[in-house]
A = this chain, B = another copy of it.
Amino acid sequence: MTQLLLVEDDATIVRTLTVTLGAHGYRVEAVGAGSEAIERARSGQDEVLLVDLGLPDIDGIDVVRAVRMTSTVPILVLSARDGRDAKVAALDAGADDYVTKPFDMSELLARLRAALRRARPAAAASVVRAGDLVIDRQARRVERAGRLVHLSPTEWNLLDVLVRTPGSLVTQREILREVWGPQYFDETNYLRVYVAQLRRKLEDRPSQPRHLLTDPGVGYRFEP
């Protein structure tokens, strides 16, 4: 269920969208005035905003601008105006997308998915936790017990391959191909050396690893 705030004063459109979006996994909350919308957006309970430009009190573009002052929530603007200037103004005010009425519902849904897809990883970043380890793939950062751990490029690439699929086995061949290149497929020496280095840096007792596990003869896995 995705919480969506609809800012729209036309009761017919509100009804249509509430039903249709509701059928596609959205919980729709509707407000009719821009001032209400700004206040409610501040509470941060909505994951995405759908803003109509034709509001009774405030211009929709000002709503977008006001919300953007305090929030990075995705905003889609709906409008009957197909004018170039309105689009540019809305997008530059901070809107993420602009859909012209009459709009196609499957397109609107696709654009909502796209906006949410972008917004979500940013909020719940691609961070993997395991015991006292924090691995932030985006920031290329590894912490152990709150302290930054320095990894060499190869060490990081190896860890990244394993962490990408937590808990599941990655074959030696696959690791070698990803980290060193396809022609290194039989250099299992490298794996032994670098896995050992990672364990020394990341495990409490490198000789009895809890996170970087060996499947003898097959490959390695990262266990959270």
Contact = CB atoms under 8 A, between A and B. Distances in A.
A95 B117 CA distance: 10
A106 B72 CA distance: 24
Contacts of A97: 97, 114
Q: Name A's interface SS.
A: mixed
Interface stretch (A13-21, A23-31, A191-199, A211-219): A211-219
Given A139-B167, A150-B215, A217-B153, A91 B106 contact: no
Interface size class on chain A is 35 or more
Contacts of A213: 148, 150
B95 A138 contact: no
Question: Considering the complex of A and B, which 10 residue pairs feature the smallest CB-CB distances, nearest first?
Answer: A139-B168, A140-B169, A91-B110, A88-B110, A91-B114, A84-B104, A153-B217, A87-B107, A88-B106, A153-B218
22 contacts: A72-B122, A84-B106, A87-B110, A88-B107, A88-B110, A91-B110, A91-B111, A91-B114, A92-B114, A96-B114, A97-B97, A97-B114, A122-B122, A138-B168, A140-B215, A141-B167, A141-B221, A152-B217, A153-B216, A153-B217, A153-B218, A156-B218
Number of copies of this chain that the complex holds: 2
A92 B72 contact: no
A153 B218 CA distance: 7
A165 B91 CA distance: 25
A223 interface: yes
A165 B140 CA distance: 12
A168 B152 contact: no
Interface string A97-131: 10000001011011101100110011000000000
